[in-house]
Structure 1
């Protein structure tokens, strides 16, 4: 088919703004049903993965995509080695991060991972993020980075790298659940970005850095922190209803409610609500947040009865990450630590197709010779 023929066909087709409902890839990795409020990850409903370790989720996502398959125990050992390697590579670079914010620092460090790295790149990418993210958070607090402990699980070492103390089992479990919950979510903006880059054969590290750059945008991965800002601003239980009422009257968005895809409650919110409810610390904050959620849902239903606005993943993400000890400036980086599972799997899957992603566009500018 000639270029002119393609242009003529496209000229008669409506453009899907934001590529809504456009199928751009086939994948076995995850399925999002926004009408039913359902998230399936490689054949499992999300709630079935709530008690899994992050390593088990990686085994599920990487299955049949790597030259040498690994079970969860082997993945745990490989990630331990990757964290040690990332710590070594990071050391000379840390002083140069002082003027960068947390996501910019992670972006820089990930971009330095060498393409000639001998360790499997998907393992290295996943293993590096906790090391980098924790070191960035500690440096911002005036503290030196901690060396990884390769014998620990990924979630346990992440928390130890952050606080330099052995975390409690309930915090490790909560972080494991969070990482599993955000591991993959269809062809979201960052995952699609990673697949487009992968389709050019640019390699794993370039692809996941592109994913992080997309995640950095406030319309994608930057919203959990403002949930805590909202809770802080509300302050007391008696102020919940008047504060939320005033915010809605001013046309402000209530952080942690509504989603581009889900027309019902985000299933990730329920999984994370369960995770945060089992934590031994922070029960007062968590209880307060639950009351804010209840009133917010009531007011949103009254004000916008025709527009479903339910609790989304950001609301309980903020509570989980705060409760296990992450500063809110690190929230996007922790999100990246979990989503790196999906990014790497999608990159591996895209590389198997061998097809460059190259969509068409419709030209709406001046015709040649018309000016």
Structure 2
């Protein structure tokens, strides 16, 4: 049973229970405190209990049914303007109706109540008619106003919750877009560097060979032209991404960070007084620029989250060069400063960028709180083209139902 189904079940159960309760109370009071026959008391009690159930579905119908029972009971007991058990249950129905109707409809319900009181006072005329009339008129107004106030508060809370959820969704979309833009800019720096080298080498190669064949010259020129065209397209895309900052368009591209820059990153964190243990395992070797840059950014984000959300904690950074994969681990313990929160609180937007980086490299990311109150980020990225191709092929084979037994 889902949460919505459970809530509906509880609401229907409460509605039925309220109707039965009102029926029993009204029936008992009418049969013991009034001169009505048992049959008349049962009919009036059934009307009031039914009105409690009906008002949830049709507020106006429930109020009219309850008010009709009030009028019939008063006419059957000419010694008093209102029969207390019946009119009291009517006030309960009015309160429930006030939770569900607009102010204009509530005013109409109160007007109908006053009109019924005036008509009964004119026909019954007990000595206390005026007092009873004023009392019920005021009580009816109060319960309708109270119901309307509760309804307005619930609607305001619902609107506020909806606005907060919409704002949060918009913030998440904006954060994801900003992170994608940042990744695109960094990829631009890497791609532009390599394409520039390709274009320059293709242009220079023809001059390093004496009397090169025309086919070779044409091929090298095609390579140079394609590389130059790709560079132009990349710069055009970057110009759109950086349209909000004209200075970035004129600034020279910064070199992409690599794993060799991790030492400087860790030193910067240590300068804040945070204890960071760095361990590098395996045979360190140059990796493709995209992998090194993404690994650096992941470590940077994980360290930033640990410092921000668990200040004073000890952070452990491990970089393991395996034969086929690059494995990165960033783990911190619980914060020692008072009032700190788990590092997982920072995982929302930061993990968006980390997961997109890892997914783009066909890697795996696991991030979450540890049992001791800390946080752990574990990343495994295929470091060789063959490994990445095999991981790209696995989902395709699963989707197509292929694969050998």
Could you tell me the TM-score, scaled by structure 2's length? 0.22
* Bigger Rg, structure 1 or 2: 2
User: Which is richer in helix?
Assistant: 2
Structure possessing the higher relative contact order (Cα contacts under 8 Å, 6 or more residues apart): 1
Could you tell me the TM-score, scaled by structure 1's length? 0.23
